[in-house]
Structure formats: structure tokens, C-alpha cells
Copies of this chain bind each other. A is one copy, B any other.
Amino acid sequence: MVATDDTAQEEAQAREREAIFAACDHCVGGHGRVRPHAELAALAQATAANEEPDRYGTGALIEEFEREVATLLGKEAALFLPSGTMAQQIALRIWSERRGCRTVAFHPTCHLEMHEQKSYQLLHGLHGRLVGDPHALLTLKDLVDLAEPVAALLLELPQREIGGQLPAWDDLRLQVAWAHQRGAAVHMDGARLWEAGPFYGRSYAEIAAPFDSVYVSFYKGIGAIAGAALAGPADVMAEARVWQRRHGGTLVCLFPFVLSARLNLRRRLERFPAYHQRALSIARTLAAVPGIAVTPDPPQTRMMHVYLHGERALLEAAALDIARAERVALFHHLRPTDMPGWSMFELSIGDAAAALTDAQIGAYFSSLPLTR
């Protein structure tokens, strides 16, 4: 594969863009820059000298962390896995085998449908039954209209692709009850579950209680290097361990991920209400700028989608200029939208925003070449 002059030039520009954003001192979203050297040094410092490594999923380090996560989610057992992609396919395969049914139901924007190259079908032979409108929360009516049997229903809390929206607690309970009445298991895609705590005002165990299995991520929001967990009944988790081996996810050692997950979960979980409060004030600031819209408004979690009115290439160039001159990253890229003249980016508020005031953020965004 020989790069042409054009693609070589594009690649060089992309690398230059990346380097400019990597050199920023401040970001509106996220937890700030991660560098391997500092990350590994901090991890070493937080680890006792006599802590033993895990070995193929066994050992006190990983087993105790799994128990910690199971307790947090109010489930009998939990399993640490390298990725959520692995965790969710495994959960759905198990429910499918147990129900003797290959059909699993999820929203059209489900991670399994959008980001996993149809692995649920190509590796697991599952059939995905899409339910609900791609631009809206799933409703009970969507489920009632689903005329065929399903082994499992996957619900994502919050729904990332629509800006982190969450169903009302009573709606959620009714949807889960509908599935259980029809004999389907209910699995939670809780990639961003930690962000849902403030909205529901309930413990994570209470939010997870209606679900048969729950996947959570340790790098999204929590900011660990990588890693995920699946939680649920002990017999299901024992079965999931066999599938983890089949997936190639039972690594000889996962301790860098386990240690990073443990460290960051313990220090960041309590900050999510503050992230949500800050997301609310940043959303108010941005929505007050002519040519900017925020969804959901107000944000229900620390996440929001920010819509900008104007020419996409000009807006991206202006953000790159700010990154270069001020070393402040507003956004890297904008995504096109169905709405003519509008493009958007996903914004998740974390530790990094603390270094910027709402007024500063408002001023940066106001300086963009927006169509007002």
C-alpha cells in the first residue's frame, strides 16, 4: 500500500493537528492529557511493593477488585475484562444460549450495531433486532411494537449517541418489566453508568438492580488506562470467564489495567456529581452564545452534544488556531449533522474543565466564526 502524494500530505497534516492538540495545556472536555511515563510512574507509586500480579484472571489483586465492583453494582459477582466490546458480546451470547433464541434487541445507536463491525453476528451468530428511533430514547411503545421473541434486551444508560440522555426512572422500570414478562434477560450497557448517578439520585446498586447483567467501563469517565467489567449472577460470570478465554481476553497479566481501574475508580467516582454541576453551567454558557445549541438542554449527565452553526472547515480551523496560539483545546473535529449549516461535537466534562472558567470558555466559543 503505497501512499500517494495527496494521502501523504493529508497524513502529515493530521499528525501536525494531533501534535498541536497534544501540546495544549487545557481542554474543555475530559480529564487532561495522558502520557505513558507519568501514568505508569503514578501507578507504580500507588501500588504496594509486595502486591502480586494477577495470572490468567486469578490472584488476589484482580479477584478483590472484581468483588469491589460487584458490591458497588449490587451483583453477586463481577468479571474484569480488557474491553466492553468483549463484555457485551459475551453477556448477550450467554443470554441467547440460555433462552435458546438468537435474537437480541437494542437501540439503533447501540455500540454493538455501530462500532463493533457486526461482531455479534459474525463471531456469535446473533441476530440484532433494532428497536426505537435513532434520535430518541427508547420507549415502552417501541418495545410493545416488537412482535418477535428476543433472548435479551440491551439498554444503554446513558445513551451516548443522543448526547447522554437517560430515561425517567419509572420508564426504565416499565421497560425492564416488559422484557422480564416476556422471558427476556435485560442487559445494561453501562459504559457511562457512573455518569447516571446524579440524575437518578440513587446508588449504582439501585440503578443496576432491575438488570440481569451490567457492563461498566473504567476508562470512560473514570479515566483508567483501559478495562471493563461485567457483573451479574455468579453462574453467569463463571460462564462469561469461559467466553473471555475464547475471545482471547484471558491475558496472562492485566495488572496495569486493574491497578489503574482501582486507583481511578476510587478517586473519581465521588466527583461525578461535581462533573454534572459543571456540565450544567458550561451548557448554559454555551447555549447563550448565538449560533450554538446544546443537547440535551440541560445535560442530564456530565455529557452533552454541542451544535455549532457555521462552515465546518472554518470552525475547525479556528479551533486549531486557538489550540496553537492559546494552548486550549475546544474540540478536535466536528461531525456533520442532518441539519444544513450545523455540525457538532461530543463534550464530556471531567477534571480538565476546572482549569478554565465559564467566562473563558464562553469567550473562546464566542470567538469562533459562527453564523449567528
Q: A1-B234, A246-B117, A254-B226 known; A36 and B259 CB under 8 Å?
A: yes
1/0 contact string of A168-206 vs chain B (CB within 8 Å)? 000000000000000000000000000000000000000
* Residue in contact with A41 in the complex, picked from B41, B53, B249, CB distance below 8 Å: B41
B246 and A122 contacting across the interface, CB-CB below 8 Å: yes
- Is A339 among interface residues, defined by CB-CB distance under 8 A? no
B226 and A86 contacting across the interface, CB-CB below 8 Å: no
Q: Please, which residue of chain B has its CB at the minimum distance from the CB of A88?
A: B248
B41 and A44 contacting across the interface, CB-CB below 8 Å: yes
Compute how far the CA of A250 lies from the CA of B34 in the bound complex, rounded to whole angstroms.
18
Q: How far is the CB of A337 from the nearest CB of chain B, in Å?
A: 23
Q: Please, which residue of chain B has its CB at the minimum distance from the CB of A81?
A: B248
A77-101 contacts to B (CB < 8 Å): 81-87, 89
B34 and A53 contacting across the interface, CB-CB below 8 Å: yes
Compute how far the CA of A249 lies from the CA of B118 in the bound complex, rounded to whole angstroms.
15
Compute how far the CA of A150 lies from the CA of B128 in the bound complex, rounded to whole angstroms.
32
- Is A269 among interface residues, defined by CB-CB distance under 8 A? no
Q: A1-B234, A40-B44, A225-B256 known; A245 and B35 CB under 8 Å?
A: no
Q: Please, which residue of chain B has its CB at the minimum distance from the CB of A238?
A: B1
Q: A85-B245, A89-B248 known; A52 and B40 CB under 8 Å?
A: no
Compute how far the CA of A125 lies from the CA of B256 in the bound complex, rounded to whole angstroms.
33
1/0 contact string of A16-41 vs chain B (CB within 8 Å)? 00000010000000000011111111
Per assembly, the copies of the chain total 2
- Is A219 among interface residues, defined by CB-CB distance under 8 A? yes
* Residue in contact with A248 in the complex, picked from B39, B247, B259, CB distance below 8 Å: B247
A246 and B40 contacting across the interface, CB-CB below 8 Å: no
- Is A123 among interface residues, defined by CB-CB distance under 8 A? yes
- Interface centre among A39, A48, A247, by most chain B C-beta atoms within 10 angstroms, is A247
Interface residues on A, range: 35 or more
Compute how far the CA of A252 lies from the CA of B260 in the bound complex, rounded to whole angstroms.
14
Compute how far the CA of A83 lies from the CA of B247 in the bound complex, rounded to whole angstroms.
9
- Is A325 among interface residues, defined by CB-CB distance under 8 A? no
Compute how far the CA of A104 lies from the CA of B74 in the bound complex, rounded to whole angstroms.
44
- Is A43 among interface residues, defined by CB-CB distance under 8 A? yes
In the complex, chain B residues whose CB is within 8 Å of the CB of A368:
none
Q: How far is the CB of A236 from the nearest CB of chain B, in Å?
A: 12
1/0 contact string of A271-288 vs chain B (CB within 8 Å)? 000000000000000000
A123 and B247 contacting across the interface, CB-CB below 8 Å: yes
- Is A136 among interface residues, defined by CB-CB distance under 8 A? no
User: Can you add 14 more A-B contacts, CB < 8 Å, to A36-B256, A116-B245?
Assistant: A34-B53, A35-B49, A35-B52, A36-B44, A40-B43, A40-B44, A85-B250, A123-B247, A219-B253, A225-B253, A225-B255, A248-B249, A249-B249, A256-B257
Which 8 interchain pairs have the tightest Cβ spacing? A86-B248, A119-B246, A85-B248, A256-B256, A40-B44, A41-B44, A83-B248, A37-B47
Q: What residues of chain A have their CB less than 8 Å away from a CB belonging to chain B? A: 1, 22, 34-41, 43-44, 47-53, 61, 81-87, 89, 115-119, 122-125, 219, 225-226, 234-235, 238, 242, 245-257, 259
